[in-house]
Structure 1
């Protein structure tokens, strides 16, 4: 077993864990993580039984997962996304069953869904951000396909371990591209946060991975021992990538009856995790009106999630500055709370005069206030109703009975655009020097026609 196998296994597990921990709500991250975990399991299986059927099947799974990743890179507001996601699930299940049944080189059929996903990515490439993503994904996917061909076809391209390592590097680059797409979509920085997690992963890989490699080299041909060593490395790498969620889970176990202590520790943890992902203040002036509107929609969607508001570029709005004074103006947590207050007041401005209603003029206010500010989830099988006031209960019943999910989402987008237009107007009327505390001037954005 060449020593190169353990580092690529560790890299795959860490990157998969990092993607899930970065934003557990995004299906795109889970698909990319599933591809990396399947590869890591395939590496372990190949080390234990080189060329075996389980290893070959596991190494084909990433191609199926990355077909779903290619679809997941398309904008969520596209009407085609839902049928494409459902079609990918069905097709992947059929191809996975085929890969399990057929022998050897025939398992290369797993590449077919990936090709289809790349075709769709190029079909809608003008809607993908950043713009270079389709080309980068295509190149790296082609390299992975080449390594898969080298592993499954009866050709000699060198040591299988080196080919496995090359496939792992290809998948790692694809995982990095997913992280780039997520950071671009959320208006966050990627590199400082990624570097922080990578340093911890490198330390764990050197300490635990090095010992595991030496153990497997010293005691060869012990399948159980090899599997246990891979498991140990996987646990350490998963912890390095999921350190934030793991710490919060440990707090719930260690302090089950001390809510105040848990909340204080969670607030500190959220702040420490958010700081490396925040953009510089002056970048807010560089966004276009369309980008500003998209960021506003995201902030409203994340109204109840203070961790995401901490990372939103809108935390540096001038209206937030005017609400804070002294040291509070430099505290990210205070700014996030004020951003939430600004959004709530902007939504309240949409409310028509009079008591609660369900007429046409109430749709925008109802869509944002009850589903974003109040946090109603009307389409859950058993929506939570504890603590709701009379209007919220009436709104919940109205949404469930008379408002289709697609209509509600459309109303939310329209209402969020109204809120964004108001905040954008305030930004345009503000002296750009409010962002330059260090004295550096930033150029104001161009007004949209």
Structure 2
């Protein structure tokens, strides 16, 4: 069992940590990590007590997490999404309780939410990116459910180890598909970042998992020996999958009273983490208009998050390039400066939506008000106690207006419409810019003149 359990535990635990590290604020990634982590713990429990109820229940948990992932992948505009999310949250404790109470194959009741969520995702597969994702997830879910049924079946159907491995492989494929979905949603590259993390995980497995396996083989079925070995592997593989958070914790301990040093290191490490995930420059011009609009909406949503702007493909926009050349030759190669300039470009585009000086609540102001106050300034007017300290008079009036007269649905619609207006202008600038900008074939003042000339010729 250790020869099977240790690699299965290590691989799924690392992949779960990697998914969380990609973006700790996304519920989609936490749910997928929950499925992988539950399987890893189930393998550890099975190593100590094969066939135990605790191990079987833990092997059922990924089905519930998988259902949550499927609901999170539903397009935002789908009317059923909110109901599906609420239904999933209510169903998890109910079906988990049934899995604990029912014996044997009765535990397969946990597959019911997964079936419902996957059917809903397949019905809207035309709006999911990438388009093959729902079908791939459905096929993997079928294999997982079949393997789980074999494992839970009563009677001796042979050794459980091959079935456990099959379930692990299904969940690894599931985790990879979720990582692909997240990368496509963010407009990022996946392969370089995943490869870097996997190399670190492979090194950790060679250094740690091998000796741990030999230790378990020397003391089979001894919980006092097996449990510490799995804890050690979890810590080492967690460090490989969560390098950024681990470095942050270590910096807080090592540089306890050196705030500026911690801040400077955090900025540099943030840029280093973003580089493998950023798209190449030549891929930006290859985007279709719909994808460009979606990425612009996402950049406006993330306008206050420098880490996400660093990874956005829009940091390579020609308008950002023009601003960088005015800073000097070295600025174009500084990732943090690119993120700052992208934010400045987005703020300028939002400011251009302002109809006049001052503040008003007429229809002409709705797009500017929605984007400026709720995205650029980051105000949350519908919170129970919205923040108003330090705000100017216009911002306070805007918060009161949103809370008293604007339904949340209308505000979100205005944000989307305003983002479309911003995306239109940025798209026109992109397609009208001289293609030589892509290769940086020209530089300095000549580059600025080139892109400025393209801006004048694109206007009728």
TM-score by length of 2: 0.92
1:150–1:156 contact (8 Å) kept in structure 2: no
**Partner of residue 330, structure 1:** 333
Deviation at 1:382, TM superposition (A): 3.5
Question: Larger deviation: 137-146 or 76-85?
Answer: 76-85
2:271–2:307 contact (8 Å) kept in structure 1: yes
Deviation at 1:333, TM superposition (A): 1.6
CA deviation vs aligned residue, 1:390-447 (integer Å, no higher than 9, x gap): 22222223223332222211111000000001111111221122112369xxxxxxxx
1:2–1:161 contact (8 Å) kept in structure 2: no
Deviation at 1:262, TM superposition (A): 1.7
| 1:243 to 1:437, Cα distance in 2 relative to 1, 3 A | same
CA deviation vs aligned residue, 1:49-74 (integer Å, no higher than 9, x gap): 11111111110110111111111111
CA deviation vs aligned residue, 1:81-120 (integer Å, no higher than 9, x gap): 1111001111222211111111111111111111111111
2:104–2:154 contact (8 Å) kept in structure 1: no
Question: Larger deviation: 314-323 or 357-366?
Answer: 357-366
**Partner of residue 445, structure 1:** none
**Partner of residue 341, structure 1:** 344
In the alignment, which of 386, 392, 400 is matched to residue 389 of structure 1? 392
2:75–2:127 contact (8 Å) kept in structure 1: yes
Deviation at 1:163, TM superposition (A): 1.3
In the alignment, which of 401, 405, 408 is matched to residue 402 of structure 1? 405
Asked whether 1:280 is paired with 2:267, we answer no
**Partner of residue 371, structure 2:** 368
Root-mean-square deviation (CA, aligned residues, Å) is: 1.6
Q: Distance in 2 between matches of 1:157 and 1:101?
A: 23
**Partner of residue 170, structure 1:** 170
Asked whether 1:44 is paired with 2:47, we answer no
**Partner of residue 94, structure 2:** 94
Q: Tell me the secondary structure at the aligned position of residue 330 of structure 2.
A: helix
Q: Distance in 2 between matches of 1:385 and 1:228?
A: 50
Asked whether 1:359 is paired with 2:368, we answer no
Q: Distance in 1 between matches of 2:397 and 2:233?
A: 53
Question: Larger deviation: 149-158 or 99-108?
Answer: 149-158
Q: Tell me the secondary structure at the aligned position of residue 4 of structure 1.
A: helix
2:216–2:226 contact (8 Å) kept in structure 1: yes
Q: Tell me the secondary structure at the aligned position of residue 208 of structure 2.
A: helix
After the TM superposition, list the runs of 4 or more consecutive aligned residues in structure 1 that deviate by more than 4 angstroms: none
Counterparts of 1:408-447 in structure 2, within 5 Å, are 408-437=411-440
**Partner of residue 140, structure 1:** 140
2:64–2:111 contact (8 Å) kept in structure 1: yes
Deviation at 1:148, TM superposition (A): 0.5
| 1:272 to 1:227, Cα distance in 2 relative to 1, 3 A | same
Which structure 1 residue ranges, 5 or more long, are not aligned?
440-449
**Partner of residue 300, structure 2:** 300
Q: Tell me the secondary structure at the aligned position of residue 286 of structure 1.
A: coil
CA deviation vs aligned residue, 1:271-313 (integer Å, no higher than 9, x gap): 1000000111011111111111101000001101111111111
| 1:390 to 1:251, Cα distance in 2 relative to 1, 3 A | farther
2:320–2:338 contact (8 Å) kept in structure 1: yes
Q: Distance in 2 between matches of 1:400 and 1:246?
A: 40
Q: Distance in 2 between matches of 1:196 and 1:158?
A: 38
Q: Tell me the secondary structure at the aligned position of residue 350 of structure 1.
A: coil
**Partner of residue 189, structure 1:** 189
CA deviation vs aligned residue, 1:153-179 (integer Å, no higher than 9, x gap): 035554212211111111010000000
Deviation at 1:342, TM superposition (A): 0.5
CA deviation vs aligned residue, 1:360-382 (integer Å, no higher than 9, x gap): 22211111111111111223334
Q: Tell me the secondary structure at the aligned position of residue 3 of structure 2.
A: coil
2:315–2:342 contact (8 Å) kept in structure 1: yes
Asked whether 1:312 is paired with 2:312, we answer yes
**Partner of residue 260, structure 2:** 260
Q: Distance in 2 between matches of 1:156 and 1:324?
A: 68
| 1:64 to 1:353, Cα distance in 2 relative to 1, 3 A | same
Question: Larger deviation: 316-325 or 291-300?
Answer: 316-325
